[in-house]
Structure 1
């Protein structure tokens, strides 16, 4: 091909003007986008030259007029000039037309020229990336400006010259690129606009109303490309109709997609955008009016531009969607006896099931429902709790929570209060706390106590003091039931009719209690037959109880007094411990009241103290349980035995006895009498605030059993323990956050009654982990081990509770009576402050019971 210089003076002057241009417009990177192909009839906004040298630069073309035309941003297309002698106009709309509707009069009117120009566009920048154009043209260092110059000169070579000219390129690289294009176009058959690919991508939003907590959609994707990508603002997981996440980078034509809002309950909105690589419309031309807003004609138009999409172009479309808040979650409950499904459990307790019907939960989210049984009579808490963590598969359903009701609630109505939270959060999602809801109420049956009785003596003489020995079972304490024993006589013979008012000798009262009770005494002054009848009154927790009149076991024969000689006298004992309640380390004795005893004949007396026991019901008077035996000299009247020191907490009970001799029968009484029982307990102390300060002066632990170390393998706790006290109403937790503190006023580990309290910090003032950093993670059934005096003592966790730190913890946590428990306390629920600090607004309380 000839590369000789073009000698026409006018054209040479024009070329020289191009290369002497003083300025250049350079934009290094563009990522334009369009939503669909540009086709003839569309209107486009023509921007200024935005790349290239000023004499050969290309115009930015925009599908929509920019909001700020002085700073229009990234163009969707680019436009090369195809009419050299016509002035270019910018900042106005132009009309897209097919090359066949070209308004100009230069060589571009010829289809063959149009074909060559389209080939040049398809093989140059920006339709090719700069890197690809460099490689194709064999010019590795070609610049953007030189690439554009080479392309524009090649276009004008066909549209306005019609022959090869010697161009004065800005660089040799531009010339090499130019000849690559011209040689290629000349050797080719050219191209048509149809040879440029069409790219479409659109997205259709769902027509139906949408709601949080569901899969929002469907959004329907349409495209003529193999795959397109989908993005969401703000970011939400995109799924298929089954809720399975999809590959958003490879969505196909006709595919329907959804936004996964199953984990959200709030109203909101989002924009989905579909994006395909490439853009159609290249090869069409833009007719530009001389006057903005005017209509270009053959006789009156500005420079015509030819449209080309850059290599970085994408075709996009967007759809907006909004959704309403999900309906508020709610729960309703039905409480029933697990054994038979009704609303009544036995007086001795049982297991109840609360079936919780929930609505409007978020499927796939973990929830924890926690309940407590409340007394219907006054709305107070029983401390009977239950919880269940579950993940619903659907928004509505049911879940069961079980509660174990121990003895002691006979005759009461219990109401289940429930709260629902998202697991790991403290915000209550829903609650049901209606004290008058019969569906969530169970009644506990009344106790049906029985009485077994035995007169204190079968035979006595006139002047003896008689009492009745009453053994009660099945009695539910805590009510206002009373007990009475009436002595009838003297009568000549016994039958069921002797227990009348006319035969009453007297009535004594006693406080009913499970176990064996000796009633107060009544002195008999006349010989004959006497019989006792015992009655327990009814109350809200128990039915009334009595027994038949005239039982042989309840009958005593009273003989006339026979001073001196005769058969051995019947000795009776009435006993009472010196103290109903004492502190550890105290001295106790037994007070023995003796009647019918004939002194001076060798009989001896002794009293054995048994203990300690965890409750009265567990008292057994066996040698292995004996603490000490003391001797006394029997005599009619009241004798106080020597004292015995009691050091451990629990229940202790005396059994006194006298031996037989020639004038006296042996005498003793039943084990575990209420009157013979002493409770050894630590003083009940005021409920302290569990301090979160970082200092303590320690505690004088001399003389008491102290825990040395605590271990909870399931949550990684292995901490030394110090003895701490209460100062100004606060439990002094050790300043060293790696240590825990055992409350000195609480029970010792291994005691039979009372609560052992250990507290520890969750973190220090810099939020570095403390001894109980993970206490909130512990679960029921896990093992806690403490070491005390070299002895290992194990406990099993039975409850994990949380309480607001704005109130004191429940008094039951610090009890010095009742079954022995271990309680661990720390802080929970960290709250960040606006200044960047933090604090904890809850206490976590873990309860464990001894095992082994």
Structure 2
């Protein structure tokens, strides 16, 4: 039996549950503090908005379903998000964290055209409202499903090298009126939006993270204030700062005055009392209302394997970031600076540097290495639910229930006679 997509699997489980419940009713079956440390965890809701199925150039009918995912940043804030790797599945149970594009899983292979993907996200739906997008792209009949499909297809063009067929290569679809579609061809609106986005895209820089503390690691001697540290944030309000792991430590500004809040770009230090033993502490920054910009990448926390998602609109989130501060009184140097080992650790954690963005459209797919489409993006073909094995299970269950009820009625009549 062919493997089921997650979507089909959920329907199958629901169908089986319905049958089991029905048979039970008929009397034929008898039923038998680490969390606090996790900051800025995002998750993918199940209520994404489906777009049209897109069909790719090449032999056969290679197609994929499209979705504008609902990425929940926290309990009060969510943003629309697209996937950037057609070959990966979304794990709805996975914890996501905001990350730089250079921190994306290496197997994704989509860093080369990240700058073009960022342009698409900032110039298409939903970052631009549907009416504005219709005007800019010159597609007055564009609807929401088509906007999602055209945008996702353009992203995959740059991130995975897939392309939609040229209008002349779609056969009868080349002459379709707006809103029309024959067979498995892309709708005229999806094709037009895809062409507009891929042909107009420019190299666009990655948006700033919602909150960071720089550098991530600082070391020095306990005899002097340790730092400087700097908060970078999209929040317009001051950011709260605190320290954990050193009871006698105090956060101070450049003049040595204790502070509990700092503004973006302001330098601050960690001051220790005299004769404190060598050790380490965490410095935390918390922003109540930081902005997550369109183009920010979200990946599985701690290397969890799941589809990388990219924010498609601006959102607001309560964010937390931290830096590690270490000190050693045995050090002979009174200066305070990031140690070579700390710099090496930071570089190692950050991953390889991002290559220069290309200014040309993404590569065309190779016939020798066809694109691999993840199971959760495999489109459900034109078979209705009752035409699948899931439908057959439901029908069989209803038939058994009916038979069971009939048998009970017949048995009661015999006892009465």
* TM-score interval, normalised by the smaller of the two chains: 0.3 to 0.5
Higher helix share: 2
Higher strand share: 1
- Higher relative CO (CA 8 A, sep ≥ 6), structure 1 or 2? 2
Larger Rg: 1
TM-score (norm 2): 0.39
